[in-house]
Amino acid sequence: MEDSLILEQFKSDDTKHSAFRALVDKYKERVYWHARKIVIDHEDADDVTQETFIKVYRALKDFREASQLFTWIYRIATNESLNQLKKKQKRQATSMDEVYEELENSIDSDHLISGEEIQLKLQKALLQLPEKQRLVFNMKYFDDLKYDEISEITGTSVGGLKASYHLAVKKIETYLTGA
């Protein structure tokens, strides 16, 4: 179902729930994997996905269509993912570095992540990146988003995103080659 039809049907009380169900069906997998790349843990990604769609449901009536529905949802999912990491840090009373270290250790034991050695190394390399670079790399490399879409999601200039992506690629290459 097209986004415009979903938005139109959401405005009517008679079709609101079916329209929202169509929206969730259309985007839930992409939102889950986007969150999963940020929070790493399956349960945390599930929580983020659920919270994202709760926020989308509450705010959808006010969506002004100034941006694409997809990028608006991704922005919410990105913010929820970052909030999840911060909550985890507070619950554990640790630094973000320690949270990332724990996530890195969980990569080895997570049965939902591919066991291929290069995939594991790439996931560990991503956790070495600063948060912004990791987000940009994930959205550009894995989600194949255009810089203007990422700019809309993150609120960062296209030039800044290109620089972040370039730096992320260089850091990942260094990590993977051990140079």
Per-residue pLDDT, 110: 56
Over residues 93-125, the pLDDT tens digits come to 666 666 566 666 665 555 555 556 667 778 888
Residues 92 and 118 in one domain: no
CB 170 within 8 A of CB 133: no
CA angle (146, 129, 132) in 5-degree steps: 45
Cα distance between residue 147 and residue 153, in whole Å: 10
Residue position matching structure tokens 């986004």: 3
32 lies in the same domain as 89 = yes
Mean pLDDT to the nearest integer, 6-24? 95
Q: Give the pLDDT score at 164.
A: 95
> Do 66 and 131 reside in the same domain of the chain?
no
pLDDT tens string 129-160: 998 999 999 999 888 999 999 999 999 999 99
pLDDT digits (tens, 9 = 90+) for 31-73: 999 999 898 889 999 999 999 999 999 999 889 888 899 999 9
- Decide which of 92 and 30 is more confident: 30
The verdict on 125 and 179 lying in the same domain is yes
The pLDDT score that the predictor gives to residue 123 is: 80
The answer to whether residues 73 and 122 belong to one domain is: no
At residue 84, the pLDDT reads 92
The CATH number linked to 26 is: 1.10.1740.10
- Kindly state whether residues 93 and 122 are assigned to the same domain: no
List the CATH number of the domain containing 119: 1.10.10.10
Q: Are residues 9 and 60 in the same domain?
A: yes
Is the confidence at residue 179, as pLDDT, over 70? no
Mean pLDDT of all residues in 2-20: 95
Q: How many domains does the chain have?
A: 2
Domain end call among 72, 97, 122? 97
Domain that holds residue 86: 1-97
Give me 108's structure tokens: 């080895």
Q: Is 108 a domain residue? A: no
Instruction: Copy the structure tokens of residue 158.
Output: 């296209």
